[in-house]
Amino acid sequence: MIVKYRNLGKWGLKLSEVALGSWVTDLAGTQAEQTALETVNRAFDLGVNFFDCADAYSGGAAERFFGKALAQHARNEFVVSSKVFFPMGPGANDWGLSRKHIIEQLDKTLNNMKLDYIDLYFCHRFDPTTPIEETMQALSDMVAAGKILYYGVSEWSPVQITEALAVVRENHLRPLSVIQPQYNMADRYIEDEIMGICEKNGVGIVPFSPLAQGLLTGKYRKGQPLPAGSRATWQADRQINNLLTDDNLDKVEGLLKVAEGLDIPLSVLALAWILRRKEVSSVITGASKPSQLEANVAASGYTIPDDALAEIERILDYHPFVRRIG
């Protein structure tokens, strides 16, 4: 079972169709750290070459973990990403997308990971207090300096992405190459405009939250108690709890039947459904142990039959927003 690869948009970089996202808690000195190291090593065995992180995850601890884990492997064998935006200290310039914060935080990220460069570097969110021109210039300069190879944005609107692409083009900057949006069966907003923008401009898409916080694993069932220890029992921001509506749980029941008919887990169906789109370069998954990663990788190269795709569309009942004039 070896993962397949896709180009990052129109660019030459090859990413495994399934990526491994970082742990958002500090694992140092715990048994979970050893399991996480085993999971990363198993990723290499399976051909996974893309590892996603962010400076804000556990105040840099996630980056330090990946630095330790990836140090066991040759630099040419992996692609690693990180992000910048969220507060990393109490100071006025310790957050956002100013030139100062980007450059200072990138240096901290490189130090955390013990690397000379980052392959992909994302603006974690949009910063309304900083001109897009300043942000794009800083990122382009970091590419020119050899500290990052490609850069992109996460959770920016279609208008913001379009403006950034225009700034890059008009100022002859190094290209914006990738975006990292949320995308899954329960949240398809990028299909309406963003995918078209990316395809036209050769921008890669590497979605996060492909299983909708666990909704699309099938562990949460209508009329049944929350599974002990599941995210819905402890997550402070209650993102998963807000997804556990009767409508969503009814859709999960239908999707489980489709997955059963194909003799695959619902999680594999959900990941393969994302990878059905050629605009997607890689899908970022989480895994707390090697067996979970192995299950995720099974989605790579899996083609959902047309009749199953049609049934999925019937179940999801998605209606893009279209405003008709005249």
Position 181 scores a pLDDT of 98
Structural tokens at position 109: 């990220």
Q: Could you tell me the strand order of the sheet in which 79-84 lies?
A: 204-205, 176-179, 148-153, 118-123, 79-84, 50-52, 18-21, 283-285
Position 228 scores a pLDDT of 79
Please determine, for residue 248, whether its predicted confidence score (pLDDT) is greater than 60: yes
Kindly report the length of the chain.
326
Please determine, for residue 285, whether its predicted confidence score (pLDDT) is greater than 60: yes
Please determine, for residue 33, whether its predicted confidence score (pLDDT) is greater than 60: yes
* Dihedral of the alpha carbons of 236, 241, 243, 247, in degrees to the nearest 10: -170
* SS3 (DSSP) at 316: helix
188-202, pLDDT tens digit by residue?
999 999 999 999 999
Position 236 scores a pLDDT of 66
Structural tokens at position 89: 């200290």
145 phi and psi angles, rounded to 5 deg: -80, -5
d(CA 284, CA 271): 10
Position 1 scores a pLDDT of 56
d(CA 12, CA 224): 47
Please determine, for residue 316, whether its predicted confidence score (pLDDT) is greater than 90: yes
d(CA 55, CA 81): 10
Please determine, for residue 271, whether its predicted confidence score (pLDDT) is greater than 90: yes
* 167-179 mean pLDDT: 98
Position 32 scores a pLDDT of 86
- Indicate the range of 54-58, 125-129, 166-170 predicted with least confidence: 54-58
Residue 325 to residues 172, 193, 290, 318, Cα–Cα distance (Å): 36, 18, 52, 21
Position 25 scores a pLDDT of 67
Predicted TM-score of the model (pTM): 0.95
User: From the CB of residue 224, how many other CB atoms can be counted at a distance below 10 Å?
Assistant: 9
Which CATH number among 3.30.300.30, 3.40.50.300, 1.10.10.10, 3.20.20.100 corresponds to the domain 5-211+270-301? 3.20.20.100
Please determine, for residue 238, whether its predicted confidence score (pLDDT) is greater than 60: yes
d(CA 202, CA 10): 5
Q: Sorting pLDDT into bands at 50, 70 and 90, what band is 83?
A: very high
Nearest to 215 by CA among 240, 250, 182, 245: 240
Q: Are 273 and 246 in contact (CB under 8 A)?
A: no
Position 263 scores a pLDDT of 98
Structural tokens at position 130: 């900083």
Nearest to 117 by CA among 69, 80, 168: 80
Long-range CB contacts for residues 130-133, cutoff 8 Å, separation at least 24: 130/96, 130/97, 130/98, 132/160, 132/163, 132/164, 132/167, 133/167, 133/171
Please determine, for residue 76, whether its predicted confidence score (pLDDT) is greater than 60: yes
Position 240 scores a pLDDT of 83
Please determine, for residue 246, whether its predicted confidence score (pLDDT) is greater than 80: yes
- Indicate the range of 91-100, 160-169, 172-181, 237-246 predicted with least confidence: 237-246
Please determine, for residue 324, whether its predicted confidence score (pLDDT) is greater than 70: no
Q: What percent of the chain has pLDDT above 90?
A: 85
Residue 105 to residues 56, 82, 119, 140, 174, Cα–Cα distance (Å): 10, 10, 15, 15, 20
* 201-230 mean pLDDT: 91
Q: Which residues are catalytic?
A: 57
288 phi and psi angles, rounded to 5 deg: -95, -10
Q: Sorting pLDDT into bands at 50, 70 and 90, what band is 321?
A: confident
Please determine, for residue 235, whether its predicted confidence score (pLDDT) is greater than 90: no
What average pLDDT is seen over the chain? 94
Where do the domains of the chain lie? 5-211+270-301
Structural tokens at position 178: 């990738």
Task: List helix spans (H) across the chain.
Answer: 31-46, 61-70, 99-113, 132-144, 158-170, 194-201, 239-243, 246-262, 266-275, 290-297, 306-316
* 274-295 mean pLDDT: 96
Q: Are 198 and 152 in contact (CB under 8 A)?
A: no
